[in-house]
Structure 1
Amino acid sequence: MTELVMSTDRIDPVDLAVEFTRVVPASGNLAVCGQQLWLDTHRAGVTITLRADAGTVELLAAGVRIKKVPSQLTPRHLRQLIADGGARILPAAKPARPGVGEVVEANRTINASGLVALGGRQYLVGYQFAGHRLTVRIDGAVLHLADGHTLLRTLPNPLTSDEITHLRDARPAGPELQPAIEPVLVQRRVSSRGQLSIADQRIRVGHAGATVTIEDTDGTFRITHADQLIAEVARTTTKPIARFKVRKPRHQQKITSGG
């Protein structure tokens, strides 16, 4: 067994970091000193460069960072990697910005109008989240809104790759999000023609004038009235739901003419 590399004073440097390469196995799951790094099967056989310290592990393909995850490596692991042929590097040598395609997240406070600030612009995520400090997780074409590790909502990602790499306070995404136990519930009043509109999708349900409840879950709108299921249709729009409660009816003022 290779002897561990130790500093002369037997104290681990606080900036101990190592660079080394690995070939992605057929499973797409790369193991380093017991830490599992998922890279997907489409990268099987690809040589990946890893830059690791006790805080993070960065994975690069052809010099481009494809992933950054929290490190589970101890100083002992890092010394072993150096002893096995890895190169000692300085933390400054590691990329500072998220790479293209990397899953990242950042904390944001949703304003009173249900908007979140990302990349210098504001996007509607839902009035019901106003005032809440939530985690925004960006994974490819989708944007997840989470409270801790609980998934609250999934929306289309409005940011470009360049905007993601320059996103303020972005960090590597943590553990996979868990879906919320309770589905999103929305109320609508059915029109006189027996139709309602949700997320720009029009649905015919009958029950003209009734107030119905809509459950948005698993790509399906489930519509109930008086606790009875009256319709179940596929969600055909990717637009977020902007209104959750029934609008109050407008009271028409009587106009009287003077006599």
Structure 2
Amino acid sequence: MAPTLGRQPGEAVELERVVGPSGNLAIRGQQFWLGPARVGQLVRFWIDCDMVHLSIGGTRVKTVRSHLSVNDLAIVVAQGAVPSGPPPLPATLEPGGVVQLERAVSRFGSINLGGRKFLIAESLGGRQVGIWIEGPTLMAFDLDTRELLRTGSNPVPLEQLRGLRRVRPAGPPLR
């Protein structure tokens, strides 16, 4: 497929979709769970081959790794996506920056960060939680509601944060 005028293959694109009754959206096979509370809302997608940012009403609500290829992006452009501006989040972690990631809490209440186990809360055992790291503070939060569940000290230095899997700049503030 030929690129559109002035656009290189694989460059970021934007498009909008309305959240359906299931609370789930999909683009070229990649699914995005937004939940039933978001049904009927208009979601703006910023997509490249590395990241997907979802915004509602100008506020970014989710950022995930992209599973889309250069060919997938060409197809969504052919279906009406437009070239995008800069991403809503910086691509690199800054010193003192706030980051988040997702982890499964073991049945004993711990998570794994950088090959080391850290106790979060035994009561959260078996749950998938968000981890928000801001300077010396580590917070566990509910991924659907963004409600704060636990707070503790951050055991991971900045240079190690960059190497953690699925770490990204933080999303909207926690409740």
TM bracket, shorter-chain basis: 0.5 to 0.7
Which of 12, 15, 30 is equivalent to 1:17? 12
- Within the alignment, does 1:156 sit opposite 2:171 as a pair? no
The CA deviation at 1:120 is 2.9
Which of 84, 100, 103 is equivalent to 1:104? 100
Q: Distance in 1 between matches of 2:34 and 2:51?
A: 16
Letter in 2 for 1:49: R
Gaps of at least 5 residues in structure 2 are: 92-98, 103-112, 120-132, 154-160, 171-175
The CA deviation at 1:80 is 1.2
Q: Distance in 2 between matches of 1:85 and 1:109?
A: 43
Q: 1:122 to 1:39 in 2, by over 3 A?
A: closer
Question: TM-score, normalising length from structure 1?
Answer: 0.40
* Identity within the alignment, %: 30
Q: Distance in 2 between matches of 1:75 and 1:137?
A: 35
- Within the alignment, does 1:55 sit opposite 2:50 as a pair? yes
Q: Which residue of 1 aligns with 2:28?
A: 33
Q: Distance in 1 between matches of 2:12 and 2:39?
A: 26
The 5 Å alignment of 1:66-215 reads 66-90=61-85, 93-96=86-89, 104-105=100-101, 107=113, 118-121=133-136, 138=141, 139=143, 140-142=146-148, 156-157=150-151, 170-171=167-168
Q: Which has the larger radius of gyration?
A: 1
Gaps of at least 5 residues in structure 1 are: 124-135, 143-154, 160-167, 174-259
Q: Distance in 1 between matches of 2:9 and 2:81?
A: 18
Q: Distance in 2 between matches of 1:32 and 1:172?
A: 23
Q: Distance in 2 between matches of 1:82 and 1:121?
A: 43
The CA deviation at 1:13 is 3.8
The 3-state SS of whatever aligns with 2:54 is strand
Higher RCO (CA 8 Å, separation ≥ 6 residues): 2
The 5 Å alignment of 1:223-238 reads none
Q: Distance in 1 between matches of 2:84 and 2:137?
A: 39
Deviation per residue, 1:125-155 (Å, 9 max, x gap): xxxxxxxxxxx8644235xxxxxxxxxxxx6
Asked whether the equivalents of residues 5 and 83 of structure 1 are also in contact (C-alpha less than 8 Å), the reply is no
The CA deviation at 1:156 is 1.1
Give aligned pairs, total.
126
Deviation per residue, 1:74-125 (Å, 9 max, x gap): 11110111121111125xx111169xxxx93185687xxx8xxx423356xx
Letter in 2 for 1:6: P
Letter in 2 for 1:74: S
Asked whether the equivalents of residues 10 and 70 of structure 2 are also in contact (C-alpha less than 8 Å), the reply is no
The 3-state SS of whatever aligns with 1:79 is helix
Q: Distance in 2 between matches of 1:30 and 1:47?
A: 11
Which aligned segments of 4 or more residues in structure 1 are displaced greater than 2 angstroms? 4-8, 12-15, 106-110, 118-123, 136-142
Letter in 2 for 1:156: R
Note the aligned Cα RMSD (angstroms): 3.9
Q: Distance in 2 between matches of 1:18 and 1:63?
A: 16
